Structure 1
Amino acid sequence: MARVISRKPYYALSELCERWSLSVGDIAAYALEGELLLSIPVAALPFSVSDIEHDADGKPFHVPCGKRWHVGTIDLHRIDAFAVLEGTETPVARFLSPAGELLEPLSDTDERAQILVNRAILVVRHAEIERFEAAQATLPSLDAPVSSPSNRGGRGRGAPFKYDWEGGLCEMVVIVNDEGVPETQAELVRKMRDWFAKTLGPDNVPCDSSIERRISRFWSRIKPDVGRPSALRSVHDVLREKAPEKMRRTKP
Structure 2
Amino acid sequence: MIMAMPNISFLTLADLCDRWGVKPPHIGALALDQKLVLSIGLSGVRAEVGEWQKVDIDEWQRLPEGWQYLTGIFDLKRNDAWSIIKHGPRVIDSVMPVEPDGYIEIRRQEDLPEFVVAPDDLLIRREEVERFEANNAPAPRDVSAPSLSRGGPGAPPKYDWESFWIETCRRLHDDGPPSTQKEMVLNLLGWFDDKGAAVPDESTVKKKVSKLWKALGLASQSVA
CA distance in 2, matches of 1:136, 1:61: 38
| SS of residue paired to 2:7 | coil
Q: Does the Cα contact within 8 Å between 1:105 and 1:114 map onto a contact in 2?
A: no
Say how many residue pairs are matched: 140
2:117 aligned counterpart, secondary structure: strand
| Other-structure match for 1:107 | 108
Report the Cα offset of residue 59 of structure 1: 9.1
One-letter amino acid matched to 2:106: P
2:23 is aligned with 1:23 = yes
Gaps of 5+ in 2: 141-156, 159-224
Which stretch shows the higher mean deviation, 19-28 or 59-68? 59-68
Q: Which has the higher contact order (CA 8 A, sep 6+)?
A: 2
Task: Classify 1:62/1:35 alpha carbon distance in 2 versus 1 (closer, same or farther; 3 Å).
Answer: farther
SS at match of 2:136: helix
Q: Do the aligned partners of 1:41 and 1:74 also contact (CA within 8 Å) in 2?
A: yes
Alignment of 1:125 with 2:106, yes or no, is: no
Say which SS state the counterpart of residue 7 (structure 1) adopts: coil
Partner of 1:72: 72
1:64 shift after superposition: 2.3
One-letter code aligned to 2:103: L
**SS in structure 2 of the partner of residue 37 of structure 1:** coil
Instruction: Supply the RMSD in Å over aligned alpha carbons.
Output: 3.4
Which deviates more from structure 2 when the two are superposed, residues 1-10 or residues 90-99? Answer: 1-10
Please state how far the C-alpha of 1:51 moved relative to its aligned partner. 3.3
Displacement of 1:19 after TM fit? 0.9
> SS state of the match for residue 50, structure 2?
strand
Provide the residue aligned with 1:178 in structure 2. none
- Fraction of identical pairs, as percent: 26
Cα distance change on mapping 1:85 and 1:54 into 2, 3 Å: farther
Q: Which moved further from structure 2: 98-107 or 10-19?
A: 98-107
TM-score normalised by structure 2 residue count: 0.52
- How far has the Cα of 1:127 moved from its partner? 2.2
Report the AA paired with residue 83 of structure 2. A
Q: Matched residues in 1 for 2:15 and 2:79: separation?
A: 22
- Contact 2:108–2:115 (8 Å) recurs in 1: no
Q: C-alpha distance in 2, partners of 1:75/1:62?
A: 20
Residue in 2 that maps onto 1:136:
136
1:184-223 superposed Cα distances (whole Å, 9 cap, x missing partner):
xxxxxxxxxxxxxxxxxxxxxxxxxxxxxxxxxxxxxxxx
CA deviation after TM superposition for structure 1 residue 119, in Å: 0.8
Larger radius of gyration: 1
Decide whether the 8 Å contact of 2:39 with 2:123 is kept in 1.
yes
Instruction: Give the Cα–Cα distance (whole angstroms) in 2 for the partners of residues 51 and 115 of structure 1.
Output: 22
How far 1:102 moved relative to its partner?
A: 2.1
Task: Note the alpha carbon deviations across 1:66-105, whole angstroms, 9 max, x for none.
Answer: 1111111111111111110001111121111456642211
Mapped partners of 2:24, 2:77: distance in 1: 17
Assess if the C-alpha contact under 8 Å between 1:74 and 1:98 holds in 2.
no
Query: Is 2:93–2:107's contact at 8 Å kept on the other side of the alignment?
Result: no
The TM-score with structure 1 as length reference comes to 0.47
Aligned residue for 2:131, secondary structure, equals: helix
2:10 is equivalent to residue 10 of structure 1: yes
Change (3 A) 1:108 1:90: closer
Structure 1 unmatched ranges of 5 or more: 144-252
Shift of 1:53: 6.5
1:3 offset after TM fit, Å? 5.1
